[in-house]
Amino acid sequence: MDFRLKDYFTLMDALAQESYNLISYLNYLQNKPQKFVILRHDVDKRPDLALAMAQGEFQRGISATYYFRIKKISNDPHIIAQISEMGHEIGYHYEDLALARGNYELAINTFEKHLAYFRKYYPVKTICMHGSPI
């Protein structure tokens, strides 16, 4: 399916026109609004596209959640900082158990280290698992 930012923002504008609250995951957890759409984005490979999406949301007064992986393909500190500065929530898109090849102790240690890294940019309160099979 061909899905472009233009189409995404057309959808966001239509939802806003129908009085939906377009909110981050943290906003939902804290406020439990009526008639809402949670906007969360997993930044797996293209932080530059995430930045473009975040800018368009910011221009519309929308705040979303952006989950970043620790891997270099997703983790661009400059982009993470920009997205956070626009008021979007930053979360950790973790895969520590897979990266540790099933070693729970190592996974817990790296998870704590990686979470602390992302908290340099935003006080991370939500996380989501990346789809690594382990």
What string of H, E and C letters represents the secondary structure of the chain? Answer: CCCCHHHHHHHHHHHHHCCCEEECHHHHHHHCCCCEEECEEEECCCHHHHHHHHHHHHHCCCCCEEEECCCCCCCCHHHHHHHHHCCCEEEEEECHHHHCCCCHHHHHHHHHHHHHHHCCCCCCCCEEECCCCC
Range of the domain at 46: 5-129
Q: Regarding predicted confidence, which is higher, 131 or 108?
A: 108
- In this prediction, residues 86-115 reach a mean pLDDT of 96
What's the CA gap between 67 and 74, in Å, rounded?
9
User: The CATH number of the domain where 63 resides is what?
Assistant: 3.40.50
Residue 133's pLDDT is 61
pLDDT band of residue 132 (cuts 50, 70, 90) is: low
Q: Report the SS3 class of residue 89.
A: strand
Q: Tell me the backbone φ, ψ of residue 93, rounded to 5 degrees.
A: -95, 85
Tell me how many domains the chain contains: 1
Residue 1 has pLDDT above 50, yes or no: no
Q: Is residue 114 part of a domain?
A: yes
Q: Is residue 134 part of a domain?
A: no
- In this prediction, residues 68-91 reach a mean pLDDT of 96
Q: Is 95 exposed, middle or buried (0-12, 13-18, 19+ CB in 10 A)?
A: buried
Residue 104 has pLDDT above 50, yes or no: yes
Q: Is residue 20 part of a domain?
A: yes
**pLDDT tens-place string over residues 46-77:** 999 999 999 999 999 999 999 999 999 999 99
Q: Is residue 93 part of a domain?
A: yes
Measure the CA angle with vertex 95, ends 90 and 99; round to 5°. Answer: 135
Residue 4's pLDDT is 87
Decide: pTM greater than 0.85. Answer: yes
Residue 131's pLDDT is 82
Q: Is residue 115 part of a domain?
A: yes
Q: Is residue 66 part of a domain?
A: yes
Residue 52's pLDDT is 95
Residue 93 has pLDDT above 90, yes or no: yes
